[in-house]
Structure 1
Amino acid sequence: MPDTHTQHHIVLLQYLRQVIQTLAEEDLVPEEHQGFIQRYDELIAQMQRGDDERYLGQELVSQVFQRYPQIAHQVPRDLLWFFGGECLHFMPDEEIANYQLLDERRSIALERGEAFDWDAEVRLMFMPVAGQGKH
């Protein structure tokens, strides 16, 4: 059984899978997508069993950018950080720095036995600061 942090990322993978499936259904040659979707489903199943599939995740999430550039903006940023490796090439340095801080805060909270709501902390970390809008 995956921990809550991994479960959060499984939910994000499931969301992205729905986006990919919709795109595949709209394509004239959906058979080309089925092998990719099958491997993607295997990743989700393995993670749900508690297997550490960072390398497969890196490969598949990176391939989303290559295969489906039209949906790149829909790839949850959390997935890029979670899988790391090649996925980090799709993140700007400032975003990587923010996720590093967030990961450090999570580690400290876990060491202290405190709860850490990753999703809420991500929203707070990346929320625009009042008064810093465009002029």
Structure 2
Amino acid sequence: MPVTLSYHDYHLALLKSLFDTLRAQAMLMEQVPEESNQLFFERFEELIEQLEQGEQDSLYKGQDIICQIISRYPQIAQLIPRDLLWYFGGDCLHFMPDEEIVKYQQLDELQAEALDRGEDFDWVSARQAAF
């Protein structure tokens, strides 16, 4: 039986994967000064650590970092998993079409209903079914 990740752990795994991808692409980001890249990656690492510790205030930092990726590194913005835009919300939602937002809202409602009934909710499976 496959192990299902919690909603938070699923998004944390996506964020770590994005971080690794961006690090691998860092040499391709010559238009941004290296020192600026280093500071950005330090903030990104701090975000991951804060989320690992369950600090909910870090969601605002996540919004900022995701939006910075889109503005600083537009050539790799398409590598950002759409789920992260929804997870961090706020300004990140400006980069999602309305139809996509509606689907994520429906997923959130399904998750809330399942939790109200005391049931587990498999976000990954529900997301795959919705999209």
Shift of 1:27: 4.0
User: Structure 2 length as normaliser, TM-score?
Assistant: 0.89
Q: How does 1:1-135 map to 2 (within 5 A)?
A: 4-28=6-30, 29-52=33-56, 53-126=58-131
Superposed structure 1 runs of 4+ greater than 2 Å apart: 25-32
| Greater relative contact order (CA < 8 Å, ≥ 6 in sequence) | 2
| Residues 85 and 93, structure 2, Cα contact 8 Å, conserved in 1 | yes
CA, structure 1 residues 82+27, in 2 after alignment: closer, same or farther (shift >3 Å)?
Answer: closer
Where 2:45 maps in the other structure, the secondary structure is helix
Distance in 2 separating the partners of 1:72 and 1:26? 13
Q: How many residues align?
A: 124
Tell me the percent identity.
Answer: 46
Shift of 1:23: 1.5
Distance in 1 separating the partners of 2:34 and 2:50? 24
Distance in 2 separating the partners of 1:45 and 1:60? 14
Shift of 1:19: 1.4
RMSD over aligned CA atoms reads 1.4
| Residues 29 and 73, structure 2, Cα contact 8 Å, conserved in 1 | no
| Residues 60 and 88, structure 2, Cα contact 8 Å, conserved in 1 | yes
Q: Deviations over 1:18-54 (max 9, x none)?
A: 1110121344553331110100000000010010111
Distance in 2 separating the partners of 1:105 and 1:7? 18
